Amino acid sequence: MQQRQGRPRLLQALIDAFSLPDLRRRILFTFGILVIFRFVAHVPLPGVDPEQLRELFEQNQLLGMLDLFSGGAMRNFSIVAMGVYPYITATIIMQLLVPVIPRLQALSKEGEGGRNKINMYTHWLTVPLAGLQGYAQLVLLGRSGAVAEGGLLTTATIIVSLTAGTVFLVWLGELITERGIGNGVSMIIFAGIVAGLPEMVGRGLISRENLGGLIGFIVLGLATIVLIVIFTEAHRRIPVHYSKSVFRGKRMYRQSGSTHIPLRVNTAGMIPLIFAMAMVILPSTVASYFTGGVAEFFQTWTDHWSYWLIYFLLVIGFSFFYTMVIFEQMDLAGTLQKQGGFIPGVRPGNTTATYLSHVMTRITWGGALFLAMIAIMPFLVRHMTGVEVVALSSTALLIMVGVALDTMKQLESQLVMRRYEGFLK
């Protein structure tokens, strides 16, 4: 279909997408599932003091950031207060165990059937992790008086409800992946973050004490989004040549072709941020069970420069660690050798593996430093602009931009298959 004169490409692509019945059905199905998620996010658990809960989240910066990821579900202490993060934790654990446990490593090489079994194990692991996280969340809110302490039956009921809420969200996410558009679990997280943005923007508009700082805050936020897009899409192309023999009659002819391997600068995605965040918040979590000067320092540690310095270094370390784990699982050198491919000027086998590992290490420095800067961006923006009312979560921006780009690419591929013009040229 030819693009109409004067109509923006993005708008025309959206019109084309809705003009196709099957694609329109997928988009509306995704939207309907996200609406269900938002309704469930406002179903509170019993024994909650809303006023005390609101004051706790305003005083605790870490809880406020986690609440942004859940789209307000944690602030309401609803049945889906934990979101899909226990499932994400289980997925990360399984990814780290695959190269360590021979049985899991063998399953990963069995194709679709092996991957389905690993996915099933991930779902099983999600349940106990959700139970443990639900209990920890209940204890934390109970100590602050935001949730009334009950007996064993009440505690068990709340933990089971939180666990069931997480499993329900994972199921909704899988429905989106199967029948909708985009990665379902990522879309659930995306919807939660977007749902929390209007309130954050409203706080910024209401508080006009530092108008210049607020404008600077917006400019830095937009600049951060641009950098995230650039580094998310950045990759190093490694040229690859393929040669094969073709028999025609009694003669053999050699044919060759060329392509490339795209090595992403940010292969690890947002996983290093999650690992590093879990490490830096551990002292504050432990300190909440004690009293004294040291405990008080760690409870307010997120406002100290040492917290952000350690966070910066941990993100760099986990970026290299997780990238190397993923890179080893890909086994690009072995795949190339099996398919008859080779990198010009590099011998197949171990030499190719060493070369690719060297290239991957060099470009990972760019991705690691980018993620580390994204991690400490809230600290830098707060001190550069002086805006305290609005908190810029660069991790949330990274998730939003990544999910938006991935969803656009899926819509693009659907339109291109039907010979429509997509979003990108």
Of all residues in the chain, what percent carry a pLDDT higher than 70?
73
pLDDT of residue 294: 58
Q: Are residues 296 and 149 in the same domain?
A: no
Question: What is the spatial distance between Cα 51 and Cα 153, in angstroms, rounded to a whole number?
Answer: 25
**16: pLDDT strictly greater than 80:** no
Q: Is 386 left (phi over 0), alpha (psi -120 to 50) or beta?
A: left
pLDDT in tens, 277-332: 767 776 666 665 565 555 566 656 666 777 788 888 988 998 898 888 788 777 78
* Cα separation of the two ends of the chain: 15
pLDDT of residue 88: 82
DSSP 161-195: HHHHHHHHHHHHHHHHHHHSSS-HHHHHHHHHHHH
Q: Are residues 360 and 269 in the same domain?
A: yes
Question: What is the spatial distance between Cα 381 and Cα 232, in angstroms, rounded to a whole number?
Answer: 21
**389: pLDDT strictly greater than 60:** no
DSSP 219-266: HHHHHHHHHHHHHHH-EEEEEEEEEEEEEETTEEEEEEEEEEEEEETT
Of all residues in the chain, what percent carry a pLDDT higher than 90?
6
Chain mean position to CA 222: 19
Could you tell me if 165 and 375 are in contact, meaning their C-beta atoms sit under 8 angstroms apart?
no
| pLDDT winner (highest mean) among 2-16, 127-141, 188-202 | 127-141
Report how far apart, in Å, the C-alpha atoms of 50 and of each of 28, 44, 53 are. Answer: 34, 10, 5
* 117 Cβ contact partners less than 8 Å away, ≥ 6 residues apart: 107
Report how far apart, in Å, the C-alpha atoms of 61 and of each of 55, 302, 353 are. Answer: 11, 8, 44
Question: What is the spatial distance between Cα 147 and Cα 77, in angstroms, rounded to a whole number?
Answer: 9
Higher pLDDT: 44 or 388? It is: 44
How many residues does this entry show for the chain?
425
Q: Are residues 348 and 409 in the same domain?
A: no
- Of 98, 100, 123, 120, residue with least CA distance to 109: 98
Q: Are residues 76 and 1 in the same domain?
A: yes
As a whole number, mean pLDDT of residues 203-211 equals 58
For the four alpha carbons of 377, 223, 398 and 315, in that order, the dihedral sign comes to negative
As a whole number, mean pLDDT of residues 6-25 equals 71
Q: Are residues 421 and 354 in the same domain?
A: no
Instruction: Determine the structural domain holding residue 153 and report its residue range.
Output: 1-207+391-425
Angle between helices 85-97 and 152-179 (to 10 degrees): 70
pLDDT of residue 32: 92
CA triple 81-82-88, angle to 5 deg? 155
Domain count, the chain: 2
Chain mean position to CA 149: 34
pLDDT of residue 253: 46
pLDDT of residue 29: 92
Token reading at 99: 């190269």
Q: Are residues 141 and 51 in the same domain?
A: yes
**168: pLDDT strictly greater than 90:** yes
**CATH number of domain containing 41:** 1.10.3370.10
pLDDT in tens, 81-115: 888 888 888 888 887 788 788 888 888 777 778 88
Q: Are residues 327 and 417 in the same domain?
A: no
Question: What is the spatial distance between Cα 392 and Cα 287, in angstroms, rounded to a whole number?
Answer: 26
Q: Are residues 359 and 240 in the same domain?
A: yes
Q: Are residues 190 and 217 in the same domain?
A: no
pLDDT in tens, 36-65: 988 888 888 877 777 777 777 766 656 666
Token reading at 98: 């695959």
Q: Which amino acid is at 109?
A: K
pLDDT of residue 128: 92
Q: Are residues 304 and 361 in the same domain?
A: yes
Exposed / middle / buried, residue 15 (Cβ in 10 Å: 0-12, 13-18, 19+): middle
Q: Are residues 193 and 63 in the same domain?
A: yes
Ranking 80-84, 156-160, 204-208 by mean pLDDT, the lowest is: 204-208
**368: pLDDT strictly greater than 80:** yes
Q: Are residues 215 and 316 in the same domain?
A: yes
